[in-house]
Amino acid sequence: MNHCLLLDLDGVVVFETGPPLLPDLEILVLQEDIIHSIASLDAAVVILTHRSRAEANGILKAAGIAPAKFAGVMAAEDLAISAARHRQLGRMLRKGLRKSLILPEVERRFGVPRHRTALIDDRVDNVQDMVARGLGLALHVPSEVAPDGESILTYDLASTLQIFRDWTKGAPTPRVVTLPKTRRAVMSLRRTGLNTRREGRHAFNAARSLGNFYRGIIWRD
């Protein structure tokens, strides 16, 4: 495959929300048909998340999405491993687990250079970070609770994947594309019964939080 597509988990595949939309904090499934949608892509499609591997796999399974259907699930641990393997430990210690730390590992594992790799993510800081490090295409998608308190503002998967597909075929495309908002009623989304309080209890997350604390002390302005 000549291209790679990195998918954020939260805000792209699932969405976590709580009151007033739901009685308690819970992870909802945004894209139940994502496996079918990516099947026709001539690209390695990879989940890239700041969550731990255990969290990511647990969320995907609860969402009815088999992790094995993706070319890979690259989680927080993989960002740290990539930083060590590709001599970026100093940057990680200064800046934290930036998603761009994974780019050398993506190139190594999938044989796809970063200028032929794209990202779908709902956070501007992730988009800016990845593009600054040579990513070919970043698709910034909306992910927020709508003012009506009964729906969320998200994106249309089919049209987003079409932009990626056209880009792989050489269509002129800005390096950063901001997608329009699509309204989805919360009641139309499948519930998983999971939340970050439950899934986030993981040793790696504890070590990461401690690292963030000490980094803030050492490198604070």
Residues 6+ apart with CB under 8 A from 61: 67
Average pLDDT, the chain: 89
pLDDT bin (cut points 50, 70, 90) of residue 95 is confident
Strand, coil or helix: what is 144? strand
pLDDT bin (cut points 50, 70, 90) of residue 221 is very low
Predicted local distance difference test score (pLDDT) of residue 198? 56
> 190-191 and 26-29: which strand pairing?
antiparallel
Task: Indicate whether 55 pLDDT > 90.
Answer: yes
**pLDDT per residue as tens digits for the range 16-49:** 999 888 999 999 999 999 999 999 999 999 999 9
71 and 110 Cβ atoms separated by less than 8 Å: yes
In the block, tokens 């709902």 appear at 122
Give the torsion through C-alpha atoms of 107, 110, 112, 113, to 10 deg.
Answer: 0
**pLDDT, mean of residues 181-186:** 96
Predicted local distance difference test score (pLDDT) of residue 61? 95
**pLDDT, mean of residues 196-221:** 46
120 and 139 Cβ atoms separated by less than 8 Å: yes
**pLDDT per residue as tens digits for the range 98-123:** 999 999 999 999 999 999 999 999 99
Would you call the peptide bond into 20 cis, given omega within 30 degrees of 0 as the criterion? yes
For the chain, how many structural domains are there in total? Answer: 1
Q: CATH number of the domain at 25, please.
A: 3.40.50.1000
**pLDDT per residue as tens digits for the range 133-162:** 999 999 999 999 999 888 999 999 999 999
Structural domain including 160 reads 4-218
160 and 143 Cβ atoms separated by less than 8 Å: no
